[in-house]
Chain A
């Protein structure tokens, strides 16, 4: 009891008052054991991650020993089943990249706009309606998306692909052109003196609309005449992956937008900026890092997805011509792993088995690095923000 008085920590006194010396020692050992067990369990995800890396690397390494890097990353000749097998995975890497790029091109603008709308434009009651929609999009299993892509979307693309694409192009291009025309005519007319300003503005507007009409109609005609040979192609996979990546992008970037303080917004409004100007010039730059993180997470979601690309991308192991041609079938890393695993003989330790682990290692490293980068970005912004 005497020593308790010398202890300065008030919290400890209370608890120590209630137990004897032996019990105290017992307690402290017990709690140490408890604590270390707790840490052990808590590090289960650390252990799991280490194990995943270990097992993937263990089976990926023999491939590089057997075949070397150069063919793997430098050639696009993928003939894994032949006597003299070739394992050029370049086309497969490019295929993965291409569908991901397509998905991001679609989902980032839509996702960021939607998150802006959710955070700043929609009234609270409507927000409560939209949120479940996003949650449902996120909850639908990937195989269902894949089924839709294969059974509904692919035949649609193949039969009416041209008109579908041209309609989509109209929907995107017309508002874009309208905004562009308004802005440029306004800027142009600003260069003239006051008395001709109105006329010059109308003239510029008319000219702009004529030019954009010309280009849009050219694009429309081109797309409308397009014949899509196969409905299962990179475009199909990209669109569906884009929809799947949307919820991630929307929710993460919405969080980032909400984290931007009200004071910034109010300051901007006080200076007379409109809502659009506030959002584009103040809020989005302030939430830049969060939005970048959202995009990275979206990329990770798209590149790691298996079922959709397996069912809808066409699985041709070659680089499209030209490389950005989304209308050609491509083969992706995940689909190759899922599809080829069954034919690869594990027992004999063939290169065909290990090459799949090498691909998995590629995916894993990509996920790991991009996750790390996004965390760094967020952390950095937090430090500079606070």
Chain B
């Protein structure tokens, strides 16, 4: 019995010491809380780590709980920056104003949504109408668009993602995605599904497209840095960070949300696979 008590005592002592270690360096910190989209998440995370490496005294936390959640947190004053892969809805704006907050959008980057297929698929070009028809279930076989006689496997991002909402508004117009569609949870998972399934078609953020999948030309335009940033590639969207009012000059918050305007910030954005808004 005594030995048990003793070991508890030792354990708790160790714990207190352990946390004491971190108390030391954590005192008098400034915090920036970021919440929101999983698509903007990688940018926010990379920025956060970069920024924290420059300023030891700042603690930045990043949650990736979705655009809607980000908006909600900002409205309730639970976060400083809301990452969003769509613009704020009118309702959200009104709710924010009611609570005395004024959301300000910062367009940190542009993201293209390439339509991807298995590299073994000979099809190289689709029109946006064809993509829509495929996802509506009107076109069910690759031979209808010039490919081999194989049934199409539709892969989509999950309905809870901003990426899905973008695809739905930009490609599907008012039509509904056919119910026999696989939903996967992340951009990486879409790529994985497509690279392992020869008959698959999917869409993912530009940063996630690599050698293992083939990006299709849409309306004859290949998605890349130039076509997306110039707006010629038809499926592209801006990515936002929202703050409550424009942050005061000279604060860490201001420095952080304007990081995307600096050369380093743009380099980071590009290295993760997104497209900076301005060219440096």
B95 touches A347 (CB 8 A): yes
For the complex, what is the distance from the CA of A348 to the CA of B88, rounded to whole Å?
12
Chain A residues closer than 8 Å to B210, beta-carbon distance: none
Q: A345 and B72 in contact (CB under 8 A), knowing A81-B164, A81-B165, A339-B160?
A: yes
- The contact string, 1 if C-beta is below 8 Å from chain A, for chain B 175-219, is 010011111110000000100110000000000000000000000
Say what secondary structure dominates the interface of chain B: mixed
Cβ of A238 under 8 Å from chain B:
no
With both chains docked as a complex, state the minimum distance between the C-beta of A344 and any C-beta of chain B, in angstroms. Answer: 5
Cβ of A292 under 8 Å from chain B:
no
A230 touches B159 (CB 8 A): no
Cβ of A340 under 8 Å from chain B:
yes
B168 touches A76 (CB 8 A): no
Cβ of A153 under 8 Å from chain B:
no
Chain A: which residue is nearest B184 at the CB level?
A315
B75 touches A347 (CB 8 A): yes
A310 touches B92 (CB 8 A): no
Chain B residues closer than 8 Å to A344, beta-carbon distance: 68-69
For the complex, what is the distance from the CA of A100 to the CA of B67, rounded to whole Å?
31
For the complex, what is the distance from the CA of A77 to the CA of B176, rounded to whole Å?
10
- The contact string, 1 if C-beta is below 8 Å from chain A, for chain B 154-170, is 00001111101100100
Cβ of A165 under 8 Å from chain B:
no
From the candidates B92, B159, B181, name the one contacting A345 in the complex (CB within 8 A): B92
Cβ of B6 under 8 Å from chain A:
no
B179 touches A76 (CB 8 A): yes
A341 touches B72 (CB 8 A): no
For the complex, what is the distance from the CA of A158 to the CA of B184, rounded to whole Å?
15
From the candidates B72, B75, B159, name the one contacting A340 in the complex (CB within 8 A): B159
Cβ of B265 under 8 Å from chain A:
no
Q: A81 and B92 in contact (CB under 8 A), knowing A329-B182, A345-B72?
A: no
Cβ of B153 under 8 Å from chain A:
yes
Q: A230 and B183 in contact (CB under 8 A), knowing A315-B158, A339-B160?
A: no
B184 touches A314 (CB 8 A): yes
- The contact string, 1 if C-beta is below 8 Å from chain A, for chain B 61-102, is 000111111011001100000000000010110010000000
From the candidates A78, A82, A229, A342, name the one contacting B168 in the complex (CB within 8 A): A82
B68 touches A315 (CB 8 A): no
With both chains docked as a complex, state the minimum distance between the C-beta of A74 and any C-beta of chain B, in angstroms. Answer: 15
Chain B: which residue is nearest A91 at the CB level?
B179
- The contact string, 1 if C-beta is below 8 Å from chain A, for chain B 220-247, is 0000000000000000000000000000
Chain A: which residue is nearest B38 at the CB level?
A342
A230 touches B185 (CB 8 A): no
Cβ of A79 under 8 Å from chain B:
yes
Chain B residues closer than 8 Å to A343, beta-carbon distance: 66-69, 160-162
List 13 other contacts, CB 8 Å, given A82-B176, A318-B180, A345-B89.
Answer: A76-B179, A79-B159, A81-B168, A82-B168, A155-B196, A229-B153, A230-B197, A232-B184, A314-B183, A339-B160, A342-B68, A347-B95, A348-B89
Could you name 5 residue pairs across A and B whose Cβ atoms are closer than 8 Å? A229-B153, A318-B180, A342-B65, A342-B160, A343-B69
B-side residues, CB < 8 A to A, are 38, 64-69, 71-72, 75-76, 89, 91-92, 95, 153, 158-162, 164-165, 168, 176, 179-185, 193, 196-197
